[in-house]
Amino acid sequence: MGDAAVDPDIIKRTQDTLGQVINAPALTEKLLSRPPVQFLQDIVKGVVKKTDFLQGLYNDEELTPAYLKESRDNKTLFMKKLVTAVYIAVKRAPDVRVSKILAGQEADKTNLLLQALAEAINANVDNREVVRKTLQSLGESNENEEPARNQDQEQSDKRSSKGERSSKSRD
């Protein structure tokens, strides 16, 4: 059940396209020949950091190595979000199956996904709209915005209560 070797031209195209967008992780031939999910997560982190594309699609926990190691379901959700967002952004149907990516198979199609990711970034698509449509299609709400508002409210509440305490201590 061995997977055929990836066409070196496909790997080169991935390096040329995505390599123009991110500096890390290094897009080595070895990693692109059979991209592990951790490597793909590192690519997503690099993209978010450098371009803000996919910002808000993943929460902080989903971008930690521990999240992927926790369960296969976590890996599956992580990859479904990536595949869905990229193909919403480039307005094409995905030609890759998450199960094959997780199994380390069809690396050529995974490379095409990464090339489509670079295409989406270079197209300057509306990230908020891509994230909204992606989460909606996966049956999620944008949980990432809610906690931020709740944290802001909590911080505001803390400042208020500290202010009350400090005014009481001055009395």
* pLDDT single digits (tens) 23-50: 899 999 999 999 999 999 999 999 999 9
pLDDT in single tens digits along all 171 residues of the chain = 345 688 899 999 999 999 999 989 999 999 999 999 999 999 999 999 999 899 999 999 999 999 999 999 999 999 999 999 999 999 987 789 999 999 989 999 999 999 999 999 999 899 999 999 999 999 876 554 443 333 344 444 444 444 444 444 444
Q: Give whole-number Cα distances, 51 to 9, 25, 31, 125, 150, in Å.
A: 26, 14, 22, 11, 26
Say what the pLDDT of residue 4 is.
63
Say what the pLDDT of residue 154 is.
43
The answer to whether 104 and 111 have CB atoms below 8 angstroms apart is no
Say what the pLDDT of residue 147 is.
38
Q: Which fold has domain 8-140?
A: Actin-binding Protein, T-fimbrin; domain 1 (1.10.418)
Alpha-helical segments (H) within the chain: 8-18, 29-33, 37-51, 65-70, 72-89, 98-102, 107-122, 127-137, 145-170
The answer to whether 11 and 32 have CB atoms below 8 angstroms apart is yes
Alpha-helical segments (H) within 123-144: 127-137
